[in-house]
Structure 1
């Protein structure tokens, strides 16, 4: 059967995350419901590059599925977008090799996290940025971020609920972009642990606020203990930006 690869975007505000959960609205359940309608009641399972949590957004999530329908690859986005709710959109569709796997073939991911440091939050961005109305030292955060680059055991920056045994990951780059009162943290790596980006952001904000020194990143990594790192930043500021294959 043909295998279809989709690049999708979604607004996570009204979702309980990506992955199917009984009785809850999720991105995966909306996708599979639309595909089931297209396949005349047949269940179609989709596989994603990774799951995202409640309130987390995506501009470049990638999924794949197999189908018996003879629809030109470039028509899948049109067909599915007519059946999906407005907070999920298919950006791109293509037919790929039957061995392609959205999760296991990914070589790097980019996540972005948005923080608004204005005194008064924007009512229009309250679901898309973490409001932190305090001054932060961006140079100190950039200094700290350099110590996170490379291959490390990121246990300290992973949720204590994570069941993953191998917590070694490689971060290729971290950028902190400034635009007026908005900060955008850009992380590119070969993979990220559960809550890893949100914990990294929370810890870097503590550095920028003077609670921690930039050099403390090294001792946090060495501790391999979640309690050593900072708070977990809220989910609504996080975006799965892009997946590379």
Structure 2
């Protein structure tokens, strides 16, 4: 039995997210599984490093699947990319040890979020960034990034309700880079809760525009109340860049 690791890039604009849904064929996982099943002529189920929500993109999603097929890796990549929609691309296929698990073995992830910061929106960036026209204070946002870096209970910055599982996560890096009207936020950490990056982004923008005070970060860490944090930004500005093993 072979264990195959895939590195996948996709534009999530027209999909309902990564996870397969029984009543829809508009998921990334479902599309890839269908092509793998055709290729191997056996039912294939793939395991992703994690779910991405509807509209979220990926440059380096990782998945693995097991198969007895003898198809060589270059032919596997060629077959997948020939029959997958053009907005889903398999960048790499590797044979990995049998015990490798894309989700359980992941040690960390990097995400990017892009803001188009101008009064005038962009026709070209509309599916890959969030248009925010308010003037932003970068000094305040950088201070907010420093407060968010480190190990904290992030449940107040997530869409999760109370859970028995730990909601403590470590953000190793949170940086901001301005590229013309496009602002690139980078998040690197050991894991992220549901909608955590999008809520952190909403909080950072509201701090940067003066809608929320800088101290809101400490208050949410203490209260653990989601409604005290900033808005949840839409998915189209979010990219899963890389998964670390």
TM-score (normalised: structure 2):
0.96
Deviations 1:156-180 (A, max 9, x none): 0110458673211111010011011
Show CA shifts across 1:78-118 (max 9, x none).
22111111010001110000000100111110000000012
Quote how far apart the aligned CAs of 1:222 are. Answer: 1.1
- Alignment match, 1:3: 3
Q: How many residues align?
A: 244
Kept in 1: contact 2:153–2:169 (CA 8 A): yes
- For the Cα contact (< 8 Å) 1:176–1:185, is it kept in 2? yes
**CA distance 1:112–1:162, shift in 2 (3 Å):** farther
1:124 aligns with 124
Unaligned runs of 5+ in 2: none
CA separation in 1, counterparts of 2:18 and 2:117?
28
* Greater mean deviation of Cα atoms: 152-161 or 27-36: 152-161
1:169 corresponds in structure 2 to 169
* Alignment partner, residue 235 of structure 1: 235
Secondary structure at the residue paired with 1:12?
A: coil
Partner of 2:90: 90
2:105 is the counterpart of 1:111:
no
Structure 1 residue matching 2:184: 3-state secondary structure: strand
Q: Give yes or no for contact 2:216–2:229 (8 Å, CA) kept in 1.
A: no
CA-based RMSD of the aligned residues comes to 1.3
Q: Which runs of 5+ in 1 are unaligned?
A: none
SS in 1 for 2:93: strand
The correspondence of residues 60-209 of structure 1 with structure 2, limited to 5 A, is 60-160=60-160, 165-209=165-209
- Please give the per-residue CA displacement for 1:100-152, whole angstroms capped at 9, x wherever unaligned: 01001111100000000121111111111100111111111010110111111
Task: Return the alpha-carbon distance in structure 2 between the equivalents of residues 224 and 68 of structure 1.
Answer: 47
The alpha-carbon distance between structure 1 residues 65 and 195, as it changes in their structure 2 partners (threshold 3 A), is same
Q: Pick which of 216-225 and 192-201 moved more.
A: 216-225
User: CA 1:28–1:125 in 2, change beyond 3 Å: closer, same or farther?
Assistant: same
Instruction: Report the TM-score, using the length of structure 1 for normalisation.
Output: 0.96
User: 1:31 — aligned with what?
Assistant: 32
Alignment-derived partner of residue 46 in structure 2: 46
User: In the TM superposition, what is the alpha-carbon distance from 1:63 to its structure 2 partner?
Assistant: 0.1
